[in-house]
Amino acid sequence: MNLFFLGIGGTLMGNLALLAAEQGHQVRGSDSGIYPPMSDVLAAAKIPLAEGFDPAFMKPRPDLVIMGNANLPRGHPAVEWVLDEGIPFMSGAEWLGSQLMRDHWVLAVAGTHGKTTTTAMLAWILDQAGLEPGYLVGGVPIDFPHSARLGGGRFFVVEADEYDCSYFDRRSKFVHYHPRTLVLNNLEYDHADIFPDLDAIQNQFHLLLRTVPNVGRIIMPRQDENLEEVLGRGCWTPIERFVPVRPGSRRKLRPHPRDTGTVWSVGSRRDHGRCFTVEKDGSAVGEVEWSLIGDHNMGNALAALAAAHHAGVDPATAVAALSSFRGVKRRMELIHDADGVRVYDDFGHHPTAIRTTLQGLRDQVGSDEIVAVIEPRSHTMSLGTLRNELTTCCAAADRSVWFRSPKLTWDLAEVVAASVVPAQMAEDIDRLTTALVKQVAERPRDADGKPNACHIVIMSNGSFGGLHEKLKAALTEPAPASKTNRRGTR
């Protein structure tokens, strides 16, 4: 078939285009503002792309238009052209569920945080176990050559997003996936542009639970009040639990009638979580030793191990696979490391994600300086819905820099003024780059004149105006002669 992906730059749509091309379809697409890593992935696959939504891009007439949900409402010229021409169309999520995953054992990973990393972990475990899974990851996994593949076995691992499908289908994408194994990592309020409150999101998660068969399995944390409320609306599938290393709630929750009693947990740990023992029902099944940091990633690992076990993977095999797992791009991805300065690229999209990521780094680096540089770009943060949480989410850092883009609908100065750590605001990328380089050059030195270590974490779910590359380039330029002596005094 000749397929046209309208809104191809999104993580779901771009990956679907890759899978469609792998199936042998003729694939084209267009979007506005396609940026890395998805732009690089699509270019490598030689998929023709057009910038913008001019209906002329869809000529010659495609057999089917697959629509994303990014700024494509009724009244949009491209949408109106498809309707007027009578071209068949469907949402990306529906096409994935009905065309690609229909005959597979689907393992879906849902939740507010950790979906991308946990999905990549689970796909890697199944791959290393020789099961040749298909997968679709909402990011770029370091251990695979592509973000998505069809696979050769019966299993398909998918990141199950709660965002809506399209202008004509306001249900969450994951309603179309019909998983047999479902991971629910956590649940918080997010996506303020489409959900008025947490209850609206819980309604969608309840619909998801209605699609999981009785012979399936739900993997979820022991302590998450918001997910427990979803279970209270109805659950027909056996439940296995994992114990979050740093749970969000300390309130004791009642067991659910569908609980199997199986519990996955972390036993002993060392090297700030880079090495930890995995326990199933209190008995050790293996030890993971990897490069990832943070309690949140240990929780993600437990969820992935439990899901893989339901698919038939021996725990020892799964643990060994995780020890070689390297992560996902833009999830604390180290992009610069020289002269005591480390720069990370992180997909900080929510106050909780920012908080747990920075705390994980703090646990690893001790008293080293941490600078959080944040663009509140996600819909929820750009609308200011969780602005109160933003004042405390950088508590593990030494200081924070907040970038105010023209798209913000509220006064970011409120967060800067109320921040629990020293904070400042920036409005120009070039000036921000210069300021960061200057601060790095002037950082304190020890008695031998060696500059203290500094970790700069750039957090955004977008391109951040090219800050990553500009900062890397500026840090690698020869430094001007310093007027500071070896002990840091003038």
Pair 49, 74: CB distance under 8 Å? no
Confidence of residue 427 (pLDDT cuts 50, 70, 90): very high
Q: Let me know whether 86 and 111 are in one domain.
A: no
Residue that has been written with the tokens 């979580």 in this structure:
273
Q: Let me know whether 66 and 156 are in one domain.
A: no
Q: Let me know whether 23 and 43 are in one domain.
A: yes
Instruction: Assess if residue 485 is contained within a domain.
Output: no
Count how many Cα atoms sit within 13 Å of the Cα of residue 25 in the half-sphere of its side chain. Answer: 22
Confidence of residue 156 (pLDDT cuts 50, 70, 90): very high
3-state secondary structure the chain: CEEEEECCCCHHHHHHHHHHHHHCCEEEEEECCCCCCHHHHHHHCCCCEEECCCHHHHCCCCCEEEECCCCCCCCCHHHHHHHHHCCCEEEHHHHHHHHHCCCCEEEEEECCCCHHHHHHHHHHHHHHCCCCCEEECCCCECCCCCCEECCCCCEEEEECCCCEEECCEEEEHHHHCCCCEEEECCCCCCCCCCCCCHHHHHHHHHHHHCCCCCCCEEEEECCCHHHHHHHCCCCCCCEEEECCCCCCCCCCCCCCCCEEEEEEEEEEEEHHHCEEEEEECCEEEEEEECCCCCHHHHHHHHHHHHHHHHCCCCHHHHHHHHCCCCCECCCCEEEEEECCEEEEEECCCCHHHHHHHHHHHHHHHCCCEEEEEECCCCHHHHCCCCHHHHCCCCCCCCEEEEECCCCCCCCCHHHHHHCCCCEEEECCHHHHHHHHHHHHHCCCECCCCCECCEEEEEECCCCHHHHHHHHHHHHHCCCCCCCCCCCCCC
- Which of 75, 21, 69, 77 is CA-nearest to residue 49? 21
User: Of 92, 127, 156, which closes a domain?
Assistant: 92
What does the pLDDT average to over 262-271? 92
Confidence of residue 91 (pLDDT cuts 50, 70, 90): very high
Which of 177-181, 190-194, 270-274 is most confident?
Answer: 177-181
Instruction: Give pairs for 426-431: CB < 8 Å, separation 24+.
Output: 426/401, 426/402, 427/403, 429/403, 429/464, 429/465, 429/466, 429/467, 429/470, 430/470
Pair 278, 302: CB distance under 8 Å? yes
Q: At what angle do helices 295-310 and 351-365 cross, to 10 degrees?
A: 110
Confidence of residue 365 (pLDDT cuts 50, 70, 90): very high
First to last CA, the chain: 70
Beta bridge partners of 369: 454
Distance CA 157, CA 117 (A): 12
Exposed/middle/buried for residue 242 (C-beta within 10 Å: 0-12, 13-18, 19+): buried
Looking at residue 251, what is its pLDDT?
A: 61
Torsion of CA 116, 119, 121, 124, to 10 degrees: -130
Q: Let me know whether 108 and 205 are in one domain.
A: yes
Looking at residue 147, what is its pLDDT?
A: 87
Q: Let me know whether 56 and 156 are in one domain.
A: no
User: Of 40, 63, 92, which closes a domain?
Assistant: 92
Count how many Cα atoms sit within 13 Å of the Cα of residue 233 in the half-sphere of its side chain. Answer: 16
How would you list the strands of the sheet with 2-6, edge to edge?
49-51, 26-31, 2-6, 64-67, 89-91
Provide the CATH number for the domain around residue 294: 3.40.1190.10
Instruction: Assess if residue 406 is contained within a domain.
Output: yes
Looking at residue 489, what is its pLDDT?
A: 36
Q: Which domain holds residue 138?
A: 101-322
Return the number of other C-beta atoms located less than 10 Å from residue 63's C-beta.
12
Distance CA 361, CA 332 (A): 9
Q: Let me know whether 274 and 177 are in one domain.
A: yes
Phi, psi of 46 (to 5 degrees): 60, 35
Beta strands 283-289 and 333-338 are unpaired
Instruction: Assess if residue 487 is contained within a domain.
Output: no
Provide the CATH number for the domain around residue 467: 3.90.190.20
Q: Let me know whether 416 and 387 are in one domain.
A: yes
Provide the CATH number for the domain around residue 22: 3.40.50.720
Q: Residue 335 contacts by C-beta under 8 Å, 6 or more apart in sequence? A: 343, 344, 345, 468, 472
Q: Let me know whether 282 and 371 are in one domain.
A: no
Confidence of residue 255 (pLDDT cuts 50, 70, 90): confident
Q: Let me know whether 119 and 26 are in one domain.
A: no
| Longest CA pairwise span in the chain (Å) | 74
Confidence of residue 490 (pLDDT cuts 50, 70, 90): very low
Q: Let me know whether 282 and 346 are in one domain.
A: no
Distance CA 50, CA 483 (A): 51
Summarised one tens digit per residue, pLDDT across range 323-358 is 999 999 889 999 999 999 999 999 887 898 899 999
Instruction: Assess if residue 168 is contained within a domain.
Output: yes
Summarised one tens digit per residue, pLDDT across range 285-325 is 999 999 998 889 999 999 999 999 999 999 999 999 999 99
Q: Let me know whether 365 and 455 are in one domain.
A: yes
Summarised one tens digit per residue, pLDDT across range 438-482 is 999 888 888 888 889 999 999 998 888 899 999 999 998 765 544
Instruction: Assess if residue 235 is contained within a domain.
Output: yes
User: Of 264, 291, 322, which closes a domain?
Assistant: 322
Beta bridge partners of 141: 328
Looking at residue 21, what is its pLDDT?
A: 94
249 has pLDDT over 70: no
| Domains held by the chain: number | 3
- Which of 171, 147, 146 is CA-nearest to residue 159? 147
Q: Let me know whether 164 and 304 are in one domain.
A: yes
106 has pLDDT over 50: yes
Looking at residue 247, what is its pLDDT?
A: 54
Instruction: Assess if residue 482 is contained within a domain.
Output: no
